[in-house]
């Protein structure tokens, strides 16, 4: 049986990732393909609830420690992801290890190399959409500025870090286009991957 594809959306805050994830899952399902949405952090688990409190500034945490929690939150969901992928379900994931690295490495005293280590060996995405947003535009979007990390200066550093994480699996989408236009481009690219030759077993990230 064919495995499902692992598709990830990445980008700075308010780039439109959640909207595009939802639309992509709906479109794939409408075409009769098994697809499910996931997101990181997954704030529903015990680890995820702690991350949620940290992001909502209800608690403080040492920076290395919270970085490891974000990674642990991905690892705890790997068995679930593997099960669905092996059953032939495509996963469309809102943020993944690239967010982990880009955000922590934007903090003082962190480098990309250290930040990548806890996520080394995770299932490697078959496709990563990077929603490229102009930071002045993101700032104007609803809710910007409420959670931790949502300042333009921080997001600028995050964007520079993303630039250094680009891999051959990445596709850039201009986030200033309309929701429909972005969706059409994403769906085209995603369908090629979902229907194409998927490498089995899956590759491992950053190995
Ligand atoms: N974030 C997300 C991290 O700092 N590290 C990670 O590993 C992940 C997955 O959490 N500002 C940050 C990026 C976001 C915030 O994400 C919450 P969202 O997509 O707004 O729920
Ligand atoms: Mg957010």
Tell me which of 13, 67, 99 to substitute to probe ligand 1's pocket, judged by most ligand atoms within 8 Å of the beta carbon. 99
Q: Is 90 exceeded by the pLDDT of residue 100?
A: yes
Q: Please list the alpha-helical segments (H only) found in 76-117.
A: 78-86, 97-104, 112-116
Cβ burial, residue 59 (10 Å; 0-12/13-18/19+):
exposed
* Cα Rg of the chain, angstroms: 16
Helix (H) or strand (E) holding 130: strand 127-132
Q: How far is the CA of 197 from the centre of ligand 1 (A)?
A: 31
**For residue 32, which of 90, 84, 83 has the smallest C-alpha distance?**
90
Banded pLDDT at 35 (limits 50, 70, 90): very high
Q: Ligand 1 mean position to 143 CA, how many Å?
A: 15
Atom nearest to 149 CA in ligand 1: 11
**Residue 145 confidence (pLDDT) above 80:** no
* CA 196 to ligand 1 centroid distance, Å: 30
Average pLDDT for the chain: 96
Question: Per-residue pLDDT tens for 163-199?
Answer: 999 999 999 999 999 999 999 999 999 999 999 999 8
Q: Which DSSP symbol is given to 204?
A: B
Query: What integer is the mean pLDDT of 41-55?
Result: 98
**Average pLDDT score over residue span 58-69:** 98
List, chain by chain if needed, residues with CB within 6 Å of any ligand 1 atom.
13, 40-41, 55, 70, 94-95, 99-100, 103, 149
Q: What is the pLDDT of residue 140?
A: 85
Has this prediction a pTM greater than 0.85? yes
Q: Give the percent of the chain with pLDDT over 90.
A: 92
């Amino acid at each position: 049986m064919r495995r499902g594809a692992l598709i990830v959306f990445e980008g700075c805050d308010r780039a439109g990732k959640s909207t595009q994830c939802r639309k992509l899952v709906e479109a794939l399902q409408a075409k009769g393909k098994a697809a499910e949405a996931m997101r990181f952090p997954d704030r529903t688990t015990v680890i995820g609830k702690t991350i949620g409190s940290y992001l909502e500034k209800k608690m403080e945490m040492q920076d290395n420690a919270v970085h490891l929690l974000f990674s642990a939150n991905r690892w705890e969901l790997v068995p679930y992801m593997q099960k669905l992928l092996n059953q032939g379900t495509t996963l469309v994931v809102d943020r993944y290890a690239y967010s982990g690295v880009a955000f922590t490495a934007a903090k003082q005293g962190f480098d990309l190399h250290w930040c990548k280590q806890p996520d080394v060996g995770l299932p490697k995405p078959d496709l990563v959409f990077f929603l490229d947003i102009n930071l002045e535009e993101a700032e104007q979007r609803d809710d910007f500025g409420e959670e931790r990390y949502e300042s333009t200066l921080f997001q600028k550093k995050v964007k520079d870090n993303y630039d250094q994480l680009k891999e051959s699996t990445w596709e850039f989408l201009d986030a200033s286009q309309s929701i429909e236009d972005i969706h059409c481009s994403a769906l085209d690219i995603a369908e090629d991957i979902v229907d194409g030759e998927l490498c089995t077993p899956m590759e491992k990230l950053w190995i």
